[in-house]
Amino acid sequence: MSGHSKWNNIKRKKEKTDAERAKVFTKMGREIAVAVREGGADPAVNGKLRDVIAKAKAANVPNDNIERIIKKSSGDKTQYETILYEGYGPGGVAVIVETLTDNRNRTASDMRHYFDKYGGNLGTTGCVSFMFTEKGVIEAELEDRSEDAAMEDCFEAGGDDINFEQGVAEILTSPAEFRAVREYFESKGYVFRSADVEFIPSTLVRVEEPLRLTQLSRLFEKLEENDDVQNYWHNVDNPEDLP
């Protein structure tokens, strides 16, 4: 059960600049707005809002910002919809993009442009998602806890599996159990690095050609910069080689 986590390694990690952090705040603001509109502004009775608040806190969005966004969202009439895009990036890499948009034509045009420009092609629904499994993924700091204690908490909460790396526990759950497991760990005082439902690849693709690696890097950068993109997942086996 415990040990090396391949999924943890393939995530593309880098230090965020101030501009990138501002974009994270913008993206979290949209998710909060949608959660408030669907279930109200009280997280005590709105489970989806509780999930988004936990995600925002893990992304280092300050509490004041979260409260301000919730208040603003109560009067916001903008209609957002979630759309998943699937396609192949350069080198045959499978990519799933989750968007939250108020203009599906603009977003679809942007996605098609990014994939075409950087050596990939946007596909139809289901063209790559069969290569991924949807899982709740919670990364929590161990702090002064032992791995055995965290493992016990994982299975007490109803988690599926747990991995450890450099003082961090990665808890995997089914999407249906994600909220209950996250709230259990939250009640135990764990500090989250991230907490979200993600697409985990079942097959990985190694990209060696420098041009393909550069194209992939540019594609991912464009996805990260786009305000409509909430998240994206890929099956690159060697993201550490991306320039």
CATH assignment of the domain containing 172: 3.30.70.980
Task: Please state the pTM of the whole predicted model.
Answer: 0.85
Q: What is the reported pLDDT for 19?
A: 64
Q: Inform me whether the pLDDT recorded for 166 exceeds 70.
A: yes
Residue 68 maps to a domain? no
Q: Inform me whether the pLDDT recorded for 3 exceeds 50.
A: no
Of residues 119 and 17, more confidently modeled: 119
The number of domains in the chain is 1
Residue 236 maps to a domain? no
Residue 63 maps to a domain? no
Residue 41 maps to a domain? no
What is the distance between the alpha carbons of residues 230 and 121, in angstroms, rounded to a whole number?
20
Residue 117 maps to a domain? no
Q: Inform me whether the pLDDT recorded for 5 exceeds 80.
A: no
Q: What is the reported pLDDT for 50?
A: 93
Least confident among 7-21, 35-49, 91-105, 122-136? 7-21
Per the structure, the complete domain to which residue 142 belongs is given by: 131-201
Q: How confident is the model at residue 201 (pLDDT cuts 50, 70, 90)?
A: very high
What stretches of the chain show up as alpha helix (H) in DSSP? Answer: 6-10, 18-39, 47-58, 63-73, 104-117, 147-157, 178-187, 210-225
Q: Inform me whether the pLDDT recorded for 185 exceeds 80.
A: yes
Q: Are 93 and 236 in contact (CB under 8 A)?
A: yes
Of residues 76 and 231, more confidently modeled: 231
Share of the chain above pLDDT 70, in %: 92
Q: What is the reported pLDDT for 74?
A: 75
Residue 181 maps to a domain? yes
Residues in CB range of 39: below 8 A, 6 or more apart: 45, 46, 47, 48, 49
Over residues 56-75, the mean pLDDT reads 86
**Of the candidates 186, 173, 176, which has an alpha carbon nearest to the alpha carbon of residue 140?**
186
Residue 147 maps to a domain? yes
Residue 13 maps to a domain? no
Q: pLDDT for 114-156, tens place per residue?
A: 999 999 999 999 999 999 999 999 999 999 999 999 999 999 9
